[in-house]
């Protein structure tokens, strides 16, 4: 399964010319999952990935910079003729929020399902699940951990042949856990391999549940609203400093830390340096950056600068080529 995260909005509570408010697109195989939908989210898509028909939309909490883009996105989907259902998930209070939002969106031509999460029960997909976890913010708020299923161990075809198993259906049976002509799967299949994990905290001060959820994650996306000099204000408003986010990433033994929601009062590079004193590999993605998360045996997570725009331009060029008449 291909897995990456598109950073559509990486700014703080106030959008700037360079950074929009909170919005991430997770592309997991064929699934398209939006985490938060800040002001202008659909415009951010149109400038990069195209107006993605997301399958699910998760909202971390009900501060305006995390959901103001929802009415416009839903309305545009309707105007574009969407028919597929859309599921929107979030903390308790989601349904009450949408009583007000429906005055803006009106009647939509596609089904919208609202799911209020408990903060414990995972949401199941084909080969992974999304686990909500409660974080510590000024309102009730959830983070989300995408946790891939455990994968079967590596199959050794050469060993299987040495043991007398012929290539073809018998190989498939061994990989499925069946014995073949006295050969046991354990003789030719290695130990099960853990799946990948991507954790997105939303707004929070450092907290135990985030630490537990992020344990050994390939990617942790953590807010970093403040620098060191405003640690007290971070505590009062239940946000994190960049250094605190980095310490949590270090303690959770994550592979890559991506800092978002940095206040526009700061120079991002200066705040990032504070984080790197605790977690040297920390990054601060910009809007339209992409982090690809390959299987561990294929390499480490990597940042692709402006990756969403690059892919969009490539796909547009390919589409233009396909539309050209043959000569």
What's the rounded mean pLDDT across residues 149-161? 87
* CB-based contacts of 286, cutoff 8 Å, min separation 6: 7, 10, 18, 19, 305, 306
Structure tokens at 272: 């990032």
Whether the pLDDT of residue 202 is over 80: the answer is yes
pLDDT tens-digit readout, 53-74? 999 999 999 999 999 999 999 9
Whether the pLDDT of residue 326 is over 60: the answer is no
**pTM: predicted TM-score of the whole model, two decimal places:** 0.88
Q: How far is CA 321 from the centre of its chain?
A: 32
Whether the pLDDT of residue 184 is over 60: the answer is yes
Whether the pLDDT of residue 259 is over 90: the answer is yes
pLDDT tens-digit readout, 272-310? 999 999 999 999 999 999 999 999 989 999 999 999 987
Q: For position 316, what pLDDT does the model report? A: 45
pLDDT greater at residue 165 or residue 314: 165
From 4, 36, 56, 65, the catalytic residue: 65
Which pLDDT band holds residue 254 (cuts at 50, 70, 90)?
very high
Whether the pLDDT of residue 318 is over 50: the answer is no
CB 155 within 8 A of CB 167: no
SS (H, E, C) the chain: CCEEEEEEECECCCCCCCCCCCEEEEEECCEEEEECCCCCHHHHHHCCCCCCCCCEEECCCCCHHHCCCHHHHHHHHHHCCCCCCEEEEECCCHHHHHHHHHHHHCCCCCCEEEEECCCCCCEECCCEEEEEEECECCCCCEEEEEEECCECCCECHHHHHHCCCCCCHHHHHHHCCCCECCECHHHHECCCECCCEEEECCCCECCHHHHHHCCCCCEEEEECCECHHHHHHHHHHCCCEHHHHHHHHHHHCCCEEEEECECCCCCHHHHHHHHHCCCCCCECCCCCCEEECCCHHHCCCEEECCHHHHHHHHHHHHHHHHHCCCC
What's the rounded mean pLDDT across residues 108-113? 96
Catalytic: 65?
yes
Q: For position 174, what pLDDT does the model report? A: 87
pLDDT tens-digit readout, 96-105? 999 999 889 9
Which pLDDT band holds residue 218 (cuts at 50, 70, 90)?
very high
In the chain, what are the domains?
3-151+193-323 (3.60.15.10), 153-191 (no CATH)
Which pLDDT band holds residue 155 (cuts at 50, 70, 90)?
confident
pLDDT greater at residue 326 or residue 114: 114
What's the rounded mean pLDDT across residues 156-173? 90
Of 2-11, 82-91, 158-167, 241-250, the one with minimum mean pLDDT is 158-167
């Amino acid at each position: 399964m291909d897995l990456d995260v598109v950073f559509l909005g990486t700014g703080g509570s106030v959008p700037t010319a360079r950074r929009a408010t909170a919005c991430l697109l997770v592309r997991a195989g064929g699934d398209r999952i939006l985490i938060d939908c800040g002001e202008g989210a659909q415009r951010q898509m149109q400038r990069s990935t195209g107006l993605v028909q997301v399958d699910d939309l998760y909202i971390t909490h009900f501060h305006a910079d995390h959901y103001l883009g929802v009415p416009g996105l839903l309305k545009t989907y309707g105007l574009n003729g969407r028919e597929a259902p859309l599921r929107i998930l979030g903390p308790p209070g989601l349904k009450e929020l949408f009583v007000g939002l429906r005055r803006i969106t009106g009647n939509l031509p596609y089904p919208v399902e609202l799911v209020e999460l408990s903060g414990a029960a995972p949401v199941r997909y084909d080969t992974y699940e999304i686990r909500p976890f409660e974080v510590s913010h000024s309102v009730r708020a959830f983070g989300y951990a995408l946790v891939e299923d455990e994968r079967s161990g590596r199959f050794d075809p050469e060993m299987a042949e040495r043991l007398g198993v012929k290539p073809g259906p018998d190989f498939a049976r061994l990989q499925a856990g069946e014995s073949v002509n006295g050969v046991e799967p354990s003789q030719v299949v290695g130990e099960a391999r853990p799946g990948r994990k991507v954790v997105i905290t939303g707004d929070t001060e450092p907290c135990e549940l985030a630490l537990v959820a992020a344990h050994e994650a390939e990617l942790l996306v953590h807010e970093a609203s403040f620098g060191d000099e405003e640690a007290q204000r971070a505590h009062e408003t239940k946000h994190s400093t960049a250094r605190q986010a980095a310490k949590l990433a270090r303690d959770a033994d994550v592979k890559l830390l991506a800092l978002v929601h940095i206040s526009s009062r700061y120079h991002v590079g200066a705040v990032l340096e504070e984080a790197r004193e605790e977690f040297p590999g920390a990054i601060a993605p910009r809007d339209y950056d992409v982090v690809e998360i390959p299987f561990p045996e294929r390499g480490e997570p990597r940042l692709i600068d402006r990756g969403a725009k690059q892919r969009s331009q490539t796909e547009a060029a390919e589409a233009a080529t396909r539309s050209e008449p043959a000569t």
